[in-house]
Amino acid sequence: MQSKKAEKIDLNVEYPCPCRRRGTLIPITLTEAFGCDRCQQIFVVEDNGRALEQLSTTYPYKRTWHWNGSHWQVVNSRLRESYMPVALGIIFVLVIIWLPLALRLASGSNIIAWALVAVLLAVLPALMVWLTYRR
């Protein structure tokens, strides 16, 4: 049985790619980094050789993994954890407070427009949370 504890990453060993694309991480000569032969991503060894961090400009937060001996485990990002309360707070304000206030102030013909705007504004934070947690 493999341990669940993070093991030190050996710079001379090939590992599977943590991006789930069935690639292989190959050590980059003279660096503390790996390159994937499939997805062409570059990964740097951090945290005294116990964490692998993806170097990418496409993500708003760092993606980091620990090797447990058999597979990569994602290290949770603090930025990712802060999205949920913010999104739920925005949805709460829009649905509970703003929607009834807007419906009360709107005239008969504008009720549908105000309701549509409120639903659209409530869907945007939900979309933000979905995009954050999809990987």
Q: What is the pLDDT of residue 16?
A: 92
Total-model pTM: 0.54
How many other C-beta atoms can be found within 10 angstroms of the C-beta atom of residue 36?
21
Q: What is the pLDDT of residue 2?
A: 47
Q: How far apart are CA 109 and CA 124, in angstroms?
A: 25
78/112: higher pLDDT: 112
Residue type, 92: F
Residue type, 59: Y
Query: What is the tens place of the pLDDT at every residue in 98-111?
Result: 767 766 776 666 67
Q: What is the pLDDT of residue 125?
A: 73
Q: What is the pLDDT of residue 112?
A: 73
The residue-averaged pLDDT of 44-68 equals 80
**Rounded to 5°, angle at Cα 62 from 5 and 23:** 70
Residue type, 24: T
58/9: higher pLDDT: 9
Q: Mean pLDDT in the chain?
A: 77
